[in-house]
A and B are shown apart, each in its own frame.
Chain A
Amino acid sequence: MKKLLATMLCAVMVVASFAGCGKAADNNTQAPANTEAGTSVEASADVSGDALTPAQQAIADRKAKAAETGKYEKVVVSFFDWTGAPAGIERVNSKLSAYTEETLGVDVELLIIDVAAYTEDLKLMLSSGEQVDLFSTCGPGYMTCVNNGYTADLEENGLLATYGAKLNDVVRADYFDACRVGGVLYGVPPIKDYAIQTAAVCIGTEYLEGAGVDLAKFSKDDLGYYKCTWDDVDEMFAAMHAAFPDKTVYSTQDNMLTQGSCVDNIGGDYYGTLLDPANSLEVSNVYESDMFKEWCDRFYRWNQAGYISGDALTDTNGASARIKSGAFMAMMACGKPAYENQISGECGRPMTVFDVGEPFMSSSAVSSFPWCLNQNSEDPIAAMQVLEALYTDPVVANLACWGEEGVEYVVNDDTTINWAPGVDSNNSEYYPNVLWLMPNQYAAHVWEGDPVDVGEQTAKFNDNCPVKSKALGFTWDNSDYAAEFTALQNAYKEFSGKVIYGFVDPETGLKELNDALYAAGLKEYMAAKQEALNAWAGK
């Protein structure tokens, strides 16, 4: 009894301390709303006077405050990189702040965390009230952030329209709409390639030559890659296998659906998909489809022919890293403008890209990792203005993407850039190497070797994509089906590997997989998805 009492006493004390904390957090969330209302009233009063726009007014206010206190307000922007906080982060931050103090009346701090720690750290910071104003949802995932209530409504009280108006110049309205959840806009998509050229088979050029493959018979597609069929690929693989018997032909990864097909994983997972996303909103099980069966048959054939490593199931090395090692010859990815350069760099040898699939833009392509504003941010207006600058101001974008001119990089005559003398990717003090998640990589310089107009090329690639999912913009909260989802994840992981890499006959392997998925609740899960999709389409 005594023990119980003691424990309870402790608990009560702690609850008290926690309640205090919760309240403090509440105050924080209310405060910005007030200031915002205040400034907009002020701003509208000003319009008749010296005609400062509300945005300019907010900047002027912050500058005035800084003059008074001697300290600029700070906006913290967080995203991940591959190696953790870069050595030169403080220098870059001070350069950045020196500029934004002038233009926006704020200091900007880039808080860069390594990829593996980012999800956990961001979650902790967002839920404990640590200062993070803007963050990339690449890592934790957009829907997770929305579901946990981390994200602010960007259009509340006209926030975006008033203080981030220039965003509308760089992000198309339908891409904004693709990020709406339940009609509310919580994020701005990074500007990048949303469409993909599915099933780009990449083969080491030296192996093609060694096997005597005649490339002249293939025509080229719009992106400049060789157009061919799976039969052609089979033929090439056979020739390569014969010419290089001690090398493994194909470097596997579980990407035949994500990068090799036009199946739309609506709602962010493949348990219930759109098989014909351009024309139909019917949710079906992709693992029972003919298309998936075809993939599995192909891999079974390849595995039987010895094109696939016996360790494919357990090897955790990346597909391109294996090719770089020289033991593997080919892999599959998805193409986009200037991809051949990229993949050749990754594989450490010239690669030839074959286009076997078709272009496709899935429903979640745009909304997979937008930039969000913390609901707990003390000054959402300042945060929004910084976000706008990240998308539109080349000085800000260059500092965030590439670091300091003259230290990290030098500008060539044609405006492309390259390493500063003596600097490379290993010793650079600022090289996040995550352009594709940055708000707008095309506002910054282009790296030497890439076309100067890669931004326009990409925009055209997106616009011209013929197969766009009808469900573009559909987002789904699966938290009510967490039990099914967890069971499905486990079932998929248990039975998928051997059939997708062709270690078992697809006939039996697929049946086993589907039985397990249905036992885990696939039917209920798909029904719920279909219902949500119908409701969304109805609106």
Chain B
Amino acid sequence: MKVKAESKKSLKKRIIRYIPLYVMALPGLIYLFINNYMPLPGLVLAFKKYNAKKGIFGSNNVGFKNFKYLFATKDAFIITRNTILYNLVFIIVNTVLAVFVAILLAEMTSKLKKVYQIIILLPFMISMVIVSYLVFGFLSNDNGYLNNTVMAALGKDPVQWYMEKKYWPFILTFVNAWKVIGYNCIIYLSTILGIDRGIYESASIDGAGKWMQIRKITIPLLRPTVIMMTLLAIGRIFYSDFGLFYQVPQNQGALFAVTNTIDTYVYRGLLELGDMSMSSAAGLYQSLVGFIFILTANLIVRKFEPESALF
């Protein structure tokens, strides 16, 4: 009884102490409520046959019918496989490369590092549509830079890039990395810059070389950020960058086996059907799976490294 009373008291005390923090959190929470939570009941649309006359809530219930098209055909396996595999590869490749580049930048003494930083961020600034034209500029069958210049110089036959699906997992991974590394790298860079330089200095005095410092100090301190980024990426594992998988391969049929993801599949069907309930169903399905994945992953992290868990 006594213990409970005390903890209650301390809870009250803690609440009082943190009142300013609740106030600080308020604008953000109000915004989340308006922007993210108020529209949420709209998800019932996934179980309705939408009719404007009846409104979202008045429309007829149809159960899980709107989900059927996501599972009905043999395509379901391919699009799910593609979506998950690409995401896994992207998580690994992007993390490794971004951490690597971030460490290089952080340890660099030259003033040029600011220039490098801006340059590698540039690809992130252009839209996927433009990226798709640039890729096309390089890979076009008749006029592409690779076929016309590079392959010719190497004395090789031109490759019909947009017909050969075996190259595309690599092309897409490369394009994705090219586009997002600068962005991800900045995240890790800011974490490294937040590390107390004193730690490095004392390590240096103890005779630890550069590689040693990176291995023993930087990488362990980056771990929580890496884990968090990975967890958040896992939450989006059923989503795919529509532009990357639709625009960049030029919506090319011959490549579908390796480029069709849940998003592109749904888009091709719904573009003409224009059915809001079905797109709502697809979104709900993607979110739910992501939610389950992220909860599971978070549980595992919490078990081994509670500090790094999301919540």
A residues neighboring B (CB under 8 Å): 10-11, 14-15, 17-19, 21-22, 25-26, 29, 119, 123, 126-127, 140-141, 144, 147-150, 268-269, 309-311, 313-314, 316, 375-376, 478-479, 482-487, 489-490, 493-498, 503, 519-521
Contacts and interface: CB of A to CB of B under 8 A. Distances in A.
User: Which are the 3 A-B pairs with shortest beta-carbon distances?
Assistant: A486-B269, A483-B69, A149-B51
B273 A496 contact: no
Contacts of A22: 55-58
B33 A148 contact: no
Contacts of A376: 52
B274 interface: yes
Contacts of A487: 69, 72-73, 75, 269
B200 interface: no
Given A482-B69, A487-B72, A521-B73, A19 B57 contact: yes
B232 interface: no
Contacts of A313: 162-163, 250, 252-254
A310 B69 contact: no
A11 B40 CA distance: 7
Interface string B20-46: 000000000000010001111110000
27 contacts: A14-B40, A15-B41, A18-B41, A18-B56, A18-B57, A26-B58, A29-B53, A123-B274, A126-B52, A127-B52, A144-B273, A149-B52, A310-B142, A311-B142, A313-B163, A313-B250, A313-B253, A314-B136, A314-B141, A316-B250, A478-B273, A482-B273, A485-B269, A485-B272, A494-B253, A497-B252, A498-B254
Contact of A26 (B41, B55, B74, B141): B55
Contacts of B114: none
B94 interface: no
B191 interface: no
Contact of B272 (A489, A497, A503): A489
A27 to B, nearest CB: 11
Given A311-B142, A487-B75, A493 B254 contact: no
B47 interface: no
Interface stretch (B209-217, B233-241, B260-268): B260-268
A320 B49 CA distance: 41
Contacts of B271: 489
A482 B269 contact: yes
A313 B54 CA distance: 44
A518 to B, nearest CB: 12
A314 B274 contact: no
Contacts of B58: 22, 26
Given A26-B55, A493-B256, 12 more contacts: A22-B58, A119-B274, A141-B272, A141-B274, A144-B273, A313-B252, A314-B140, A314-B250, A483-B69, A485-B69, A489-B269, A496-B253
Q: Please classify the interface of chain B as helix (H, G, I), strand (E, B), loop, or mixed, using the class held by over half of its residues.
A: helix
A469 B254 CA distance: 35
B276 interface: yes
A486 B40 contact: no
Contact of B278 (A21, A268, A482): A482
Contacts of B57: 18-19, 22
B225 interface: no
Contacts of B188: none
A210 to B, nearest CB: 23
Contacts of A496: 253
A135 to B, nearest CB: 12
Interface in B194-252: 250-252
B253 A140 contact: no
A29 B273 CA distance: 25
Contacts of A489: 268-269, 271-272
B296 interface: no
Contacts of B278: 482
A27 B84 CA distance: 46
B275 A479 contact: yes
- For this complex, into which size category does the number of interface residues on chain B fall? 35 or more
A126 B278 CA distance: 18
B288 interface: no
Contacts of A520: 73, 75
A311 B143 contact: yes
A148 B142 contact: no
A114 to B, nearest CB: 16
Contacts of B54: 149
Contacts, number: 145
B34 to A, nearest CB: 10
Contacts of A521: 72-73
A123 B52 CA distance: 10
Contacts of A10: 33, 37, 40
Nearest to B266: A486
Contacts of B269: 482, 485-487, 489-490
Given A148-B50, A489-B268, A497-B252, A483 B140 contact: no
Contacts of B104: none
A489 B73 CA distance: 12
Nearest to A495: B253
B68 interface: yes
B40 A314 contact: no
A311 B256 CA distance: 18
B162 to A, nearest CB: 5
A22 B48 CA distance: 15
Contact of B52 (A148, A479, A498, A519): A148
B270 interface: yes
B251 A493 contact: yes
Contacts of B69: 482-483, 485-487
Contacts of A490: 75, 256, 260, 265, 268-269
B81 to A, nearest CB: 15
Query: Most B CB atoms within 10 A — which of A15, A18, A21, A497?
Result: A18
B162 A314 contact: yes
A148 B73 contact: no
Interface in B69-91: 69, 72-75
Given A18-B57, A22-B57, A493 B41 contact: no
A479 B60 CA distance: 14
Interface in B273-304: 273-276, 278
A439 B72 CA distance: 41
Nearest to B42: A18
A10 B142 CA distance: 57
B274 A14 contact: no
A140 B50 CA distance: 15
Contacts of A14: 37-41
Nearest to B142: A310
Nearest to B78: A490
B51 to A, nearest CB: 4
Contacts of A17: 38
Nearest to B254: A498
B190 to A, nearest CB: 29
A407 B132 CA distance: 41
A17 B42 CA distance: 12
Contacts of A26: 55, 58
